[in-house]
Amino acid sequence: MLRVLVIDDEKHIREMLAGMLLSICADVEVVGGAEGVKDGLAAIRNLHPDLILLDVELADGNGFDILHHYDELPFKVIFVTAFEEYAVKAFQISAIDYILKPVDPDELKKAVEKAIHTVKAEFLIKMGAFFENMNHKTIGERKIVLKTADSVHLVKICEIIHCDSDQNYTEFRLTEGRKIIVSRTLKDFEDLLKDFSFFRVHKSHLVNLRYIDRFDRTDGGQVVMSNGSHIPVASRKQGELLELFEKI
């Protein structure tokens, strides 16, 4: 049985989340609730939850104030937030689990099921990435979490040259000849990276515009990247690509 604590500064939200959990998630016990940092920490000490649904803005601080009390988290966390767009992007590229208010029951169920299988060490890495991304708004300093079968990688976005699709896998080609393969689709990363000068030139290729050396019209159109890769450009993408060159 998964013991869940709900920390939110609004009582009706706590009650709504508790009811929703009990109705859609098997093997879940809601052990209590809290509205702020002080009583949240007390509830954690007394109730020993396995998972916390944690609001970002609390009555006497924010959810991160609670996490800062621990060198190693003894529980899993899912953020529940109405945060503005910039912070949501930080959650996304840091691979931190979150759900947006108003809470969708299906999204809550997915997040809880995922939390059950999350390794705590991975969560600490992801939290480190989140805090770095919140502190560094420039593209050069922000990082993305890439999880492989064996490792969790923390990669600077500015070090990604291009990403290539292989069915349900995505291969990242990085500076210094590095390569990372993850079991997520290219579409997932297109959505995450589109605000960081990345452009999908072909159904199988997402490129960092800053690493394009040139565009060749030969062989149907291709870009040559700084690492020497020749990447085809779909005919319908060529005009848009040339327009983007003007904005770099």
Residue 244 CA neighbour count, 13 Å, CB half: 19
Q: How far is CA 218 from CA 38, 73, 204, 222, 238, in A?
A: 65, 55, 19, 7, 12
Structure tokens at 182: 């993850």
Per-residue pLDDT tens digits for 136-173: 666 667 889 898 877 888 899 999 999 999 888 999 99
**Bigger pLDDT: 210 or 73?**
210
146/172 Cα distance (integer angstroms): 9
Which listed CATH number (3.40.50.280, 2.60.120.10, 3.40.50.2300, 3.10.310.30) goes with 2-134?
A: 3.40.50.2300
The pLDDT of residue 140 is 62
Reported confidence tier of residue 13, pLDDT bands at 50, 70, 90: very high
Residues 6 or more apart whose CB falls under 8 angstroms from that of 228 comprise none
- Among 4-13, 36-45, 217-226, the minimum mean pLDDT is found in 217-226
Q: Compute the chain's Rg from CA coordinates.
A: 21
Mean predicted confidence (pLDDT) in 57-77: 85
Residues 6 or more apart whose CB falls under 8 angstroms from that of 76 comprise 50, 51, 52, 115, 116, 118, 120, 123
The pLDDT of residue 248 is 63
Reported confidence tier of residue 90, pLDDT bands at 50, 70, 90: low
Residue 119 DSSP code: -
The candidate with the shortest Cα–Cα distance to 226, out of 138, 166, 159, is: 159
Per-residue pLDDT tens digits for 206-224: 999 999 999 998 888 999 9
The pLDDT of residue 94 is 60
Q: Is the Cα dihedral 125, 126, 129, 131 positive or negative?
A: negative
The hierarchical CATH code for the domain 143-245 is: 2.40.50.1020
187/19 Cα distance (integer angstroms): 34
Mean predicted confidence (pLDDT) in 108-112: 88
C-beta of residue 248 within 8 angstroms of C-beta of residue 183: no
Q: At 117, phi and psi to the nearest 5? A: -100, 5
pTM of the full structure: 0.59
Torsion, CA 143, CA 147, CA 152, CA 156, rounded to 10: -20
Identity of the amino acid at 190: E
The residue ranges of every structural domain in the chain are: 2-134, 143-245
The pLDDT of residue 194 is 87
Per DSSP, helices labelled H in 120-168 are 120-135
Beta partners for residue 33, in sequence order: 6
The pLDDT of residue 233 is 96
> Can 2-134 and 143-245 be said to share one CATH topology?
no
149/141 Cα distance (integer angstroms): 26
